[in-house]
Amino acid sequence: MSSATRKLSYSLAINEALHQAMAADPRVFLIGQGVKSPWYVGNTANGLLKRFGAERVIDTPVSENGVTGAAVGAALTGMRPVVVHPRMDFMLYGFDPIINQAANWHYMSGGTSSAPVVFWGIVNRGGEQAAQHSQALHSMFCHVPGLKVVAPSSPADAKGLMLASIFDDNPVVFVDDRWLYSTTDAVPEAMYQTPIGSGVVLRRGTDLTILCYSGMVPLALEAATLAGQEGVSCAIVDLRTLKPFDRELVLSSVGATGRVLVCDVGWKSGGWGAEIITTIVEAGVTLKTAPRRVALPDTPAGAARTLEKGYYPTATTILGVIREMNA
């Protein structure tokens, strides 16, 4: 590790991004539930209130629609708000300001104004969060013109994509996975941006391409290592951005291997995995086997740990599909 990088956890990488953005630009502010209580948002807000004050770190009542609307209004006046939803499920209350207002503002104004706001939604998979506190709703936002959707998997990309989202002139949905908060990696100390719309090849392979993002990435990497021990070479592509995703990288990797498996953190029906497979098929990529998906079953998440164990995919789940595709 060079002197310009050091190990940071995923949550502290986001925290560093917020510190750097707010120090660099007085228009940036954080608003949402629990931002004055660092543990509530997984240490991502550590030190922000003390450093920047209550005018720029605004802890709010439980009123998702009002808070989100206030952030959109601030963005329209020239500010760059980051509105955090500690449980992504309750972003549903903010659909009007997100979808009807922020996503359409640039178009409806004929390009004369925009809403540079980050809608930061945290997915709380597992931990007995149950059906109303664990839902990954990214596919809904991907359906809406005018919204960009990012979903990092590593601490370095969490920092870089948060900074890119803050300084993008469009509204961006930043999809966060609390399961990743304790993961650590080398993160550059300097302020930088990970390009929105750019994926990355994490592992090269010849037999199968696994397309994944967010919390599915470490599981896919583990499964690929196990598959390698059985003689199957898997390429791993971390999309990082779901909309717009890196179409050229996807088609190139899948075209080279002739097999594709999409690992999606959301539900299977109508999910992001279906969209990306359709793109591959429409592009006329020659496939050796039918494309496959690993995703959540079409049922709400149970609260009991025993139910969660059977509900959430694992590296073993992915490995089983890899074996079927290479049989």
Gap between the Cα atoms of 60 and 32, Å rounded: 5
Active-site annotation holder among 64, 85, 138, 308: 64
β-pair partners for 293:
262
**Is residue 64 annotated as a catalytic residue, yes or no?**
yes
At 187, is the secondary structure helix, strand, or coil?
A: strand
Q: What is the DSSP letter of 300?
A: P
At 248, is the secondary structure helix, strand, or coil?
A: helix
Gap between the Cα atoms of 36 and 45, Å rounded: 7
Contact yes or no for 84/41 (Cβ under 8 A): yes
Kind plus residue range of the DSSP H or E element containing 100? none
Residue 112 CB coordination number (10 Å): 8
Gap between the Cα atoms of 24 and 150, Å rounded: 22
Gap between the Cα atoms of 250 and 68, Å rounded: 34
Gap between the Cα atoms of 260 and 279, Å rounded: 12
**Crossing angle of helices 10-24 and 155-166, rounded to 10°:** 30
Token match 């694992």: residue? 314
Gap between the Cα atoms of 87 and 120, Å rounded: 10
SS3 content of the chain, % helix, strand, coil (to 5): 40, 20, 40
Active-site annotation holder among 85, 106, 133, 138: 133
Gap between the Cα atoms of 280 and 311, Å rounded: 28
Gap between the Cα atoms of 238 and 200, Å rounded: 5
Give the pair of three-digit tokens for residue 243: 């909309």
Residues belonging to the active site: 64, 133
